[in-house]
Amino acid sequence: MALDQEPDIPFYEVHEVVVPHLGRVPITKGDFHALPKKVQKFIAFYVDYMTPRGIYICDGSEHEAHEVITKLMERGTLERLEALENCYICRTDPADVARVESKTFIVTKDKYQTIPHSKPGAKGGMGLWMDPDEMKIEMDSRFKDCMAGRMMYVIPFSMGPIGSDLSKIGIQLTDSNYVLLCMRLMTRVSPKVLDILGDQDFVKCVHSMGCPRPWRRKVINHWPCNPEKVLLAHFPEERKVKSYGSGYGGNSLLGKKCFALRIASNIARDEGWLAEHMLIMGVTNPKGQEFYIAAAFPSACGKTNMAMLNPSLPGWKVRCVGDDIAWMKFNEKGELRAINPEYGFFGVAPGTNWKTNPNAMASFQKNAIFTNVAKRADGMYFWEGLEDELPDDMEVTTWLGQKWKKGQPGLTSHPNSRFTAPASQCPIIHDKWEDPAGVPISAIVFGGRRPTGVPLVFEAFSWEHGVMVGAAVKSESTAAAEFKGKSIMHDPMAMRPFMGYNFGHYLDHWLSMNKPGRKLPKIYHVNWFRVNEKGKFLWPGYGDNIRVIDWMCKRLSGEAKVVPSPIGNLPEKGAIDISGIEDQVHWDELFSLPKDYWLEDAKETRQFLEVEVGDDLPAEIEKQLVEQEKRIAAM
């Protein structure tokens, strides 16, 4: 018996679903009885459990979106951005603004399937586990009747192009129509998904804002939510996700982190592929050769920006395949093929402007939703980084509804405010972005926000060393989750918040990719965020990151030489093209490896991996750590 299985519930009737404890529930939209039987069963169970006032089966159409948008505008949840076509702004309850990692659990009978055999002193940083019986009590106390008086939306969606061998199907139930609108942008919502379901499993996604009617708590900003009770549970064996209390991003768009990373990484391990927190980009050099790169940076550390980079070097062309998640699988020719399972971008707004990321800007000029940003008096969005475009005397309404003008103190937008836009609107979207066969990856890049000590770029010595480099990724905390202040945190493979199973086993799985006949990508580590003693960035970043990519591509085609260092291969001095930015860039400062820093870093990394991953740390990673420590000691 599975851990969290829905028992059979009888149902019949044409325009209503009859469920045992509830009687008849009206179908507001859609044909329940045309749905595949297993989908009917899934819906009927949750109708009985969550008791919505009606069922709305979504078809993903424009018409449907407009019906919902009209309703949300009447209610005040959405406001039109008059300056743009079909764009809306939404302000959430200020208590619901980011992913809530401390309430995000994986539920398995065996604890060690989910988390490593850590050592005493471990902080449990590599994922949270809860026992199924305990979770059932938590879930029952929340989900029972949680949709009373609310509509339940049924959203059939595909992660990846509909029908591709690499794609997977999900069905999300939710009582949030904002979530429905965003799911339409972020995943492929279509009845076609149900037509092709056949014998396939689908990932069951159940989401509620946790505000049944009558609701006594004050609703702020027309954004019902239940922040005190937020809880996310993943059931890898059942391929199921339940999320309660939050409508924000990764907490509620369940196709994204919950399905495409936490559940998919379990499927990927079983089926021999990789589900990763990575952008995918195609870069074409001035000679016309194209390379595909996948890059893993922690949340709010530059994936969207790199995926859509506007090259500052002449002759280069960048095209975006995906900006957040990659599903990658070796094909029979030994190539690592990657698809972007998503359909849109849910990108960090602050810092995005026509200089830093013109391609992202172009993507959201129509048909987009902006969450927790500010609004200008002329009906345009506004956030930190757009000051140059803002007329001096124009009034801005902040995300908290206050009036603001240029030069005044305070933030106008939440640091984790986001735009949601269709990927197809990106001017540099790759013509292969929906290719069911994916694109062949030649390089994997890891990185994070490392203010000190870590050079601009280095190359791993081998696949195994690269996996260790990934396991040692650290970064300054950001506003993408609930953390306050800036501290350097471990974020192995940029997957710490998204791990779906035991991190030691995950590293084993990565190591197992090295099989004869496979073209393994080269592995790199980058750091766009090193600062000088005054706190100023040492590297201009953004479009200038093409200079680092240029060097990587030269490595891939065998044109660039390296100098070995204790932590990996560094570019030969001058091998990165800094023409035009010579006055801003000080090579020695950017590439210096302070011995004290690296001694301390190696010690701290070992401590983290030994304590948190404990006996599950693969022997190969241990070996790589020992070798690296020796190299650092001999510096």
Residues recognised as catalytic: 301
Does residue 451 touch ligand GTP according to CB under 6 A?
A: no
Q: How far is the CB of 476 from ligand SPV (least distance, A)?
A: 14
Cα separation, 439 vs 328, in Å, equals 9
Which one of the spans 89-97, 347-355, 390-398, 617-625 is the region binding ligand GTP (CB under 6 A)? 347-355
Pick the closer one to Mn ion by CB: 98 or 181: 98
SS (H, E, C) 398-431: CCCCCEECCCCCCCCCCCCCEEEEEHHHCCCECC
Q: Which two tokens stand for residue 143?
A: 């989900």
Tell me the DSSP string of 327-393: EEEE-TTS-EEEE---SEEEEE-TT--TTT-HHHHHHTSBS-EEES-EEETTS-EE-TT-GGGS-TT
Say which entry of ligand GTP, ligand SPV, Mn ion, none residue 347 contacts (CB below 5 to 8 A, set by partner kind). Answer: ligand GTP
Pick the closer one to ligand SPV by CB: 168 or 257: 257
Residue carrying structure tokens 């994070």 = 448
Q: Which two tokens stand for residue 427?
A: 């001017």
Pick the closer one to ligand GTP by CB: 197 or 308: 308
Say which entry of ligand GTP, ligand SPV, Mn ion, none residue 99 contacts (CB below 5 to 8 A, set by partner kind). Answer: ligand SPV
Between 524 and 563, how does the x/- string for binding to ligand GTP read (CB under 6 A)? ----xx-------x---xx--x------------------
Q: Which two tokens stand for residue 492?
A: 């192995």
Cα separation, 496 vs 446, in Å, equals 13
Q: How far is the CB of 276 from ligand GTP (least distance, A)?
A: 12
Does residue 303 touch ligand GTP according to CB under 6 A?
A: yes
Which one of the spans 6-14, 205-213, 250-258, 280-288 is the region binding ligand SPV (CB under 6 A)? 250-258
Pick the closer one to ligand GTP by CB: 35 or 253: 253
Does residue 350 touch ligand GTP according to CB under 6 A?
A: yes
Does residue 77 touch ligand GTP according to CB under 6 A?
A: no
Within 13 Å and on the Cβ side, how many CA atoms surround 157? 33
Does residue 448 touch ligand GTP according to CB under 6 A?
A: no
Say which entry of ligand GTP, ligand SPV, Mn ion, none residue 541 contacts (CB below 5 to 8 A, set by partner kind). Answer: ligand GTP
* Helix axis angle, 503-511 to 619-633, nearest 10°: 80
Footprint of ligand GTP on residues 154-183 (CB under 6 A)?
none
Does residue 299 touch ligand SPV according to CB under 6 A?
A: yes
Does residue 250 touch ligand SPV according to CB under 6 A?
A: yes
Footprint of ligand SPV on residues 83-122 (CB under 6 A)?
99
Does residue 324 touch Mn ion according to CB under 5 A?
A: yes
Q: Which two tokens stand for residue 65?
A: 């979106």
Cα separation, 426 vs 75, in Å, equals 31
CA torsion sign for 609, 614, 620, 623 is positive
Tell me the DSSP string of 477-496: --TTBS--S--EEE-GGG-G
Out of 207, 257, 319, 522, the only residue in the binding site for ligand SPV (CB under 6 A) is 257
Binding residues with ligand SPV: total (CB under 6 A): 9
Does residue 239 touch ligand SPV according to CB under 6 A?
A: no
What are the phi and psi torsion angles at 443 (to 5°)? -145, 140
Is the link from the previous residue into 214 a cis peptide, with omega within 30 of 0?
yes
Q: Which of 215, 55, 48, 21 is nearest to 143 (CA)?
A: 48
Footprint on this chain of ligand GTP (rule: CB under 6 A): 297, 299-305, 323-324, 347-348, 350-351, 356, 480, 528-529, 537, 541-542, 545
Interface with ligand SPV by CB under 6 A: which residues?
99, 249-250, 256-257, 299, 324, 346, 480
